[in-house]
Amino acid sequence: MPGGSNPSNRLLSQSADQQKQVKTVQSLLTAKKDKDIKRQPPKRTRSDVSTDSNTSMDLSGIINFQKDLDEIKFSLRDVTTKDDLNEVTKDLVKTADLENMVTGIVKKLFNKLESTLDKKMNERLNKIQTEMQEKVEALSIENEHLRRKIDQNEAKTLSIRKELSETTEIAKETNISSNYNEQYSRKNNIKVYNFPWKEQQDLRQEFIQMVKSDLNKTLHDRDIVAIHCLPAQREPRPLIVRSFSTDVKRSIMRKRKELRNKVKFVDDVTTRNMALIKGLEDSGRFDQVWYFNYGIYGRTDIGLQMKYGLYDDINKRLREGK
């Protein structure tokens, strides 16, 4: 047995030593007897008798020792010997064999477990792969359907964009034309600011009188087709004066710088043209912006003078200089 000294082993070892020692004594006695028989003299002297007496005493001690050994052997008859242990343990599995056996069993179990896991894993992977493939195919079909819809929508969008672009251009042209027509219809109009206002006043006669007194220009009733106040939050409200002809208007506007009492005469410009004028002034690119003969003009600090429309790209026009 591995590890440590066992009392049974020590006892068996002592028994084996004793047996070896007994055999040695017996062998000596037997050899001694044979030797004595061969050397026995034909006659015995006194000295021989004395020697025999001593020899007899030695043999008696040896015999007693032999008896003690026999008793010890008898006492140890039930003690387990090495041979007994070998007989009992010969069929037992050695430690190395047991380790090999356990290792083999564990390897087999591990291989079996690994094979089982691989099989289950492969089955699971195959199932997932099949499910994913089905989903991919379904998504592919759906994507194809969506792609067709997108193509159709893109075609519709392109058509709508084209229509929108055309509509925008038409709207711009319509707006430009409408603005021009509106401005043309106002060609004989004069807008008057800070005109003195009072209750029960005759606007026509008071306007004719102001032109005569301030501008030294005589007008007749027929020269003023219409005159009325515009709605306003503050007083005095501005007036719109429609002259009979462009010549009448031109003759008045030519002398407007001579007006007194902060009265101001200006052209009756449309709302869209007024927005264009404000945009040009706010750009900071022009020294002067004005209205003339149905159009809006601007002059830069380098003396570049051009007419601008409602939808012109101002920066581009200035870069190109045309």
Which CATH number characterizes residue 259's domain? 3.30.70
- Same domain (yes/no): 129, 97: yes
Report the amino acid identity of residue 76.
Answer: L
Assigned token pair, 245: 């002809």
Among 186, 206, 241, the domain boundary falls at 186
- Same domain (yes/no): 100, 181: yes
Assigned token pair, 89: 């343990």
- Same domain (yes/no): 284, 251: no
pLDDT grade for 244, boundaries at 50, 70 and 90: very high
Q: Model confidence over 77-92: pLDDT tens digits?
A: 666 666 766 666 665 5
pLDDT score recorded for residue 8: 46
- Same domain (yes/no): 26, 103: no
- Same domain (yes/no): 221, 151: no
Query: Please, what is the Cα angle at 168 between 164 and 173, to 5 degrees?
Result: 150
pLDDT score recorded for residue 118: 86
- Phi and psi angles of residue 191, each rounded to the nearest 5 degrees, phi first: -100, 130
Among 137, 158, 186, the domain boundary falls at 186
Total number of domains in the chain: 4
Does residue 69 lie in a domain region?
yes
Across the chain, mean pLDDT equals 81
The better pLDDT of the pair 244, 107 is held by 244
Give me the residue label for tokens 């009325």: 228
- Same domain (yes/no): 273, 306: yes
Does residue 44 lie in a domain region?
no
Task: Name the DSSP class of 85.
Answer: H
Q: Model confidence over 192-228: pLDDT tens digits?
A: 999 988 888 899 999 999 999 999 999 999 999 999 9
- Same domain (yes/no): 310, 225: no
- Phi and psi angles of residue 178, each rounded to the nearest 5 degrees, phi first: -65, -40
Report the amino acid identity of residue 79.
Answer: V
- Same domain (yes/no): 106, 175: yes
Does residue 46 lie in a domain region?
no
- Same domain (yes/no): 245, 319: no
pLDDT grade for 64, boundaries at 50, 70 and 90: confident
Q: Model confidence over 87-137: pLDDT tens digits?
A: 666 655 567 777 888 888 888 888 888 888 888 889 889 999 899 999 999
Does residue 240 lie in a domain region?
yes
SS3 breakdown of the chain: % helix, strand, coil, rounded to 5? 65, 10, 25
Task: Name the DSSP class of 216.
Answer: -
Does residue 274 lie in a domain region?
yes
What burial class does residue 132 get, using C-beta atoms within 10 Å of its C-beta: 0-12 exposed, 13-18 middle, 19+ buried?
A: exposed
pLDDT grade for 288, boundaries at 50, 70 and 90: very high
Share of the chain above pLDDT 90, in %: 48
- Same domain (yes/no): 201, 182: no
pLDDT score recorded for residue 31: 47
The better pLDDT of the pair 74, 308 is held by 308
| Model confidence, pTM | 0.53
Does residue 42 lie in a domain region?
no
Using alpha carbons, select from 160, 174, 109 the residue that is nearest to residue 311.
174
Task: Name the residue range of residue 293's domain.
Answer: 269-322
- Same domain (yes/no): 174, 99: yes
